[in-house]
Amino acid sequence: MAVLLDTPRWPAHGTVWAHLVSDTSLAELHAFAARCGVPRRSFDLDHYDVPAARHAELVAAGAQHVEGRELVRRLRASGLRVRATERPARSEVARRWAELLPGHPAVGEELAVRWSEPHRVYHGVGHLLEVLDRLRLLADGGEQVGRAVVLAAWCHDAVHAGATPADEEASAALASTLLGPVVGEAGAAEVSRLVRITADHAPGPDDAPGRVLCDADLGVLGGTPEAYLRYTGQVRAEYRHVPEPDFRRGRAAVLTRLLDRPRLYATPTGARLWEAAARRNVGAELVRLRAG
């Protein structure tokens, strides 16, 4: 557990800069930076940029000086490293969180780190952004999308180990822990309730928030055939540890239960946007799964 600082080598704005990181958590990094007066605007997804003039001061305050390669190695090992290919999406995630709860950046960063875990192929930041975008489409269609629904979208796959409903239960517990101090116990409890519903995507007929959230999450089923094939490939990659016959059997059971429903989408807007395409896509996937 350490805050690390490398040698200043990167020129900009008339000086050279070093990187300040934690090999444990962003919470530790932010706490150290705040204690030392490092401005929050210097934070860039997984590190603070600090000028050479402050290097000795920060080391004296407790930062451990390491060379650049060691800093990168330990940052990668911690799981906090944001790769170059992820930076545009992670930057957009940070911007969306700032719009939603601007006074609580640490919570958004904690969620962003979880959504960026290396084992995620489908359930990563791309999926989070797509669900948020579909919530906006539903709102544009006249559905009521309150803050609790948006927060539940942020939290619904925050824990993802590939086990349902254990993942949803763990994500709901995390939502309660992170959001209780931010939106109050009652608000956090509603977010947790909505997260649990995504385990089976079966909200009650009078659960308007749950219906909106589930439609946004299942909207991926109603994409173009090409987008749907990308989605199924990503899902298979996440479950690459599962033998092919077992995966086909389990996936077919899930899809069959979905198609057996009178409607895949619970809101009028969701049904209008995605129902017909989703039934075609899911039906075609079932044919492929059963054909082997």
Of 81, 108, 131, the domain-final residue: 81
13 shares a domain with 94: no
Residue 178 is predicted with a pLDDT of: 97
Q: Is the pTM of this model over 0.75?
A: yes
Mean pLDDT of 57-68: 96
**Three-state DSSP string of 37-64:** CCCHHHECCCCEEEEHHHHHHHHHCCCE
117 shares a domain with 77: no
Share of the chain above pLDDT 70, in %: 100
For the chain, where are the E strands, in sequence order? 3-5, 10-12, 15-22, 48-51, 64-65
Share of the chain above pLDDT 90, in %: 82
Residue 43 is predicted with a pLDDT of: 87
What confidence tier does 130 reach under pLDDT thresholds 50, 70, 90? very high
250 shares a domain with 110: yes
206 shares a domain with 92: yes
64 shares a domain with 113: no
Q: Tell me how far apart the alpha carbons of residues 127 and 231 are, in angstroms, rounded to a whole number.
A: 10
77 shares a domain with 93: no
161 shares a domain with 19: no
**268-282: pLDDT as tens digits:** 999 999 999 999 999
Q: Find the length of the chain.
A: 292
242 shares a domain with 122: yes
Residue 88 is predicted with a pLDDT of: 86
268 shares a domain with 124: yes
What confidence tier does 148 reach under pLDDT thresholds 50, 70, 90? very high
Predicted confidence (pLDDT) at residue 12 exceeds the cutoff of 90? no
Contact, 194 vs 209, CB < 8 A?
yes
Of 51, 81, 111, the domain-final residue: 81
**166-203: pLDDT as tens digits:** 999 999 999 999 999 999 999 999 999 999 999 999 99
Cα of 126 vs its chain's centroid, Å: 8
Q: Which three-class secondary structure state does DSSP give residue 102?
A: coil
Residue 267 is predicted with a pLDDT of: 98
Identify the CA nearest to 172 among candidates 187, 159, 185, 186.
159
Predicted confidence (pLDDT) at residue 292 exceeds the cutoff of 80? no
97 shares a domain with 71: no
- Computed over every residue of the chain, the mean pLDDT equals 94
168 shares a domain with 66: no
Identify the CA nearest to 274 among candidates 227, 238, 205, 208.
227
Of 27, 60, 81, the domain-final residue: 81
143 shares a domain with 241: yes
Residue, of 91 and 59, whose pLDDT is higher: 59
Predicted confidence (pLDDT) at residue 137 exceeds the cutoff of 90? yes
Q: Tell me how far apart the alpha carbons of residues 257 and 18 are, in angstroms, rounded to a whole number.
A: 54
Peptide bond into 11 cis (omega under 30): no
**CATH number of the domain within which 94 lies:** 1.10.3210
Predicted confidence (pLDDT) at residue 1 exceeds the cutoff of 70? no
Which residue range forms the structural domain that includes residue 128? 86-291
Number of domains in the chain: 2
